[in-house]
Amino acid sequence: MEKSLQNEYTIPIKVLLNHAINEYLDSDTFQHKIKKVSLIKKIWNEREINKLFEKLINDLEPYRTKIQEGLNNTADLSSSEIEEVKFIVTEFLIKADKRKLLFDKPFIKFFIEQGYLDAAEKFITTARKEAPQLKDEEIFQALRNVWIMNSLQIYWGLPVEMTPSVYAYSMLYPYTDNFLDNPEYSREEKIKFNKRLYGVLNGEKLTPESFIEEKIFSLVNQIESQYCRDTYPEVYESLRLIQEAQTESMRQDGDKVLTYDSILPISFFKGGTSVLADAFLVKGKLTINEMHFAFTYGTFLQLLDDLQDAIVDKKDNHQTLFSTKRNNELIDNEVTRLILYIFKVNVANESDTKFMTLMKGVISSCTLIMIMDAAGRNPEIVSSELYKELESYSKVRLMYYKKFEDKIRDSIK
């Protein structure tokens, strides 16, 4: 890690990394009071969500064929029937949000008005057209990054839109992840792939040697169409950093057992550089404070992913802060620290705009629910004591998150 960070970067990556790690390690001294919700209120919220959802399904029944066509990528998304479907679903989301059934403060209507759903629709339509070989789950994986970039656009008061860079960067990692996660490729092949991609990100003109390189090099060209290398050098530095972090993270799958002190900087480097690149691709240039915000945002999202994947990672011998723990008590400490870290780095300050304050609150609330959801899906990863404590803060019982997701899946089969 230290050796890899000795390269000359204008971006103060070592400062960002050390700052985030110190914030995380010191977060157990941070105090944040979260409002508790009674069991009766949880059950009431679940029933109200179920009622709204049943109405949604009934309202959508006349359009079931069109919905299936849309899911199968055969429907005209601009047709009057699809427009009506969008209206019905939007109304459902706004009603549930307004009644505070999952969050204390409504925000979905604001997001929709800012263009969140429009950007998502444009991304999905473009991705299906330009990358028909990708599965829907891979496109929706990429959409998660679009939403992160959209959240940064709102945070800085920028228009929510799918720019060439938002599209290209969000599509880069379904391709690269698929290659790097594929056990059919050797470690040597993956190292070669990373070196060639690093070269292209560094401005080298390489001829693609495979279909995946052709796609990836084309996406880099799309970024270049928006950001001139000479004018925005840090955009390309940030892309090289995330690629360097991806290479570094391969150590987590090696035979060598990593210590806690080794895993922590690898995870923070990978997660932090990912959203740091998001930020540069959204804004072009960043102040040091803006870099700190984006980098820490990425670090806790990475830890969240690691928590959600703890069981699978343990089975696959992928070493993270959560998959290497031997008992619930140790995982409890890490989960608690993660929650406090998220709230600590998202505390609003006097210099924040109204959009910044709003987004910090939304980020804290959404990530807390994601932690609750992870515990609800896999109660065995935490102690019964922490499970009960997490549930005491939730608007619904923890097991309900997965039940509701299953209900949605069943309704669109």
Residue range 211-222: mean pLDDT, rounded: 91
Is residue 57 very low, low, confident or very high in pLDDT (cuts 50, 70, 90)?
Answer: very high
State the distance between the two ends of the chain, measured CA to CA, in whole angstroms: 46
Is residue 197 very low, low, confident or very high in pLDDT (cuts 50, 70, 90)?
Answer: confident
Residue 185 has pLDDT above 50, yes or no: yes
Residue range 27-55: mean pLDDT, rounded: 91
Is residue 83 very low, low, confident or very high in pLDDT (cuts 50, 70, 90)?
Answer: confident
In angstroms, the CA 226 to CA 221 distance is 9
Is residue 369 very low, low, confident or very high in pLDDT (cuts 50, 70, 90)?
Answer: very high
Is residue 182 very low, low, confident or very high in pLDDT (cuts 50, 70, 90)?
Answer: confident
The tens digit of pLDDT for each residue in 247-277 reads 888 888 888 889 999 999 999 999 999 999 9
Residue range 193-216: mean pLDDT, rounded: 88
* pTM for the structure as a whole: 0.91
Residue range 4-21: mean pLDDT, rounded: 84
Handedness of CA 60, 64, 70, 71 (dihedral sign): positive
SS (H, E, C) the chain: CCCHHHCCCCCCHHHHHHHHHHHHHCHHHCCCCCCCCCHHHHHHHHHHHHHHHHHHHHHHHHHHHHHHHHHCCCCCCCCHHHHHHHHHHHHHHHHHHHCCCCCCCCCHHHHHHHCHHHHHHHHHHHHHHHCCCCCHHHHHHHHHHHHHHHHHHHHCCCCCCCCHHHHHHHHHHHHHHHHHCCCCCCHHHHHHHHHHHHHHHCCCCCCCCCHHHHHHHHHHHHHHHHCCCCCCHHHHHHHHHHHHHHHHHHHHHCCCCCCHHHHHHHHHHHHHHHHHHHHHHHHCCCCHHHHHHHHHHHHHHHHHHHHHCHHHHHHCCCCCCCCCCCCHHHHHHHHHHHHHHHHHHCCCCCCCCHHHHHHHHHHHHHHHHHHHHHHHHCHHHCCHHHHHHHHHHCCCCHHHHHHHHHHHHHHCC
Q: pLDDT value at position 413?
A: 65
Tokens matching residue 83: 């427009």
Q: pLDDT value at position 5?
A: 54
Q: pLDDT value at position 237?
A: 94
Is residue 77 very low, low, confident or very high in pLDDT (cuts 50, 70, 90)?
Answer: low
Q: pLDDT value at position 71?
A: 64
Q: Spell out the residues 6+ positions from residue 251 whose beta carbon is closer than 8 angstroms to its own.
A: 258, 262, 266
Share above pLDDT 90 across residues of the chain, in percent, rounded to a whole number: 62
Residue 76 has pLDDT above 80, yes or no: no
Average pLDDT over the chain, rounded to an integer: 89
Q: pLDDT value at position 33?
A: 78
The tens digit of pLDDT for each residue in 299-340 reads 999 999 999 999 999 888 899 999 988 777 778 999 999 999
Which of 162-176, 263-277, 288-302 is the least confident region?
162-176
Which of 49-53, 170-174, 389-393 is the least confident region?
170-174
Q: pLDDT value at position 111?
A: 93
Residue 6 has pLDDT above 50, yes or no: no
Q: pLDDT value at position 7?
A: 56
Per the CB < 8 A criterion, the answer to whether 127 and 72 are in contact is: no
Q: pLDDT value at position 293?
A: 97
